[in-house]
Amino acid sequence: MKIDINNAGCEFVKAILKLYRSERYSREREILASKMLTSALDAGSHITELGVCPESHEDGIARKAMEELSRAMFVLKVMRDDKIYSQRRVEPIISLGSTVKQLIELYYNDESKLPPVQLPQSAAPQIEQKSTVPDLGGFDEIYTGKY
């Protein structure tokens, strides 16, 4: 199946749900699994919203989606490192998450396209001129304990 912005959120959530349902958790592992699932659901919601939102809102929604997706991926990697999930089972989701991140990045507004802001001459920062006269105040001398 080809992943695009219209189905990326749902596909990511389905992959997380499949992994989530495959285990039985102790209390602390259940907390991690719930955080992963919550972040994945939020990310999926924001990703799906990207496909239908006005262009003026894309940047903000893309950043929210990326934040939640990154959070879900972080918890997933923590659970893999803690041996809750095996590398074999986590690798397809990490790959899917990377693909989805690339899709989301396309919706970021590129600030480099904006013209540079010209400050009026009075608002430009003043550059302080450094003195070329050597300091004869004794700062570099060895302290002997006297004033």
The confidence score (pLDDT) of residue 42 equals 95
C-alpha 25, offset from chain centre: 28
Q: What is the pLDDT of residues 123-138, one digit of tens each?
A: 545 555 555 555 566 6
Q: What is the pLDDT of residues 65-122, one digit of tens each?
A: 999 999 999 999 999 999 999 999 999 999 999 999 999 998 887 654 444 555 555 5
Model's pTM, two decimal places?
0.69
Rounded to 10°, the helix 58-81/8-21 angle is 20
Tally Cβ neighbours within 10 Å of residue 130.
6
Question: Encoding tokens for residue 124?
Answer: 């430009």
Q: Sign of the CA dihedral 59, 65, 68, 71?
A: negative
CA distance 73 to 65: 12
Identity at 71, one-letter amino acid code: R
CA distance 75 to 20: 12
Mean pLDDT of 32-38: 93
Reported residue count of the chain is 147
Identity at 140, one-letter amino acid code: D
CA distance 126 to 132: 18
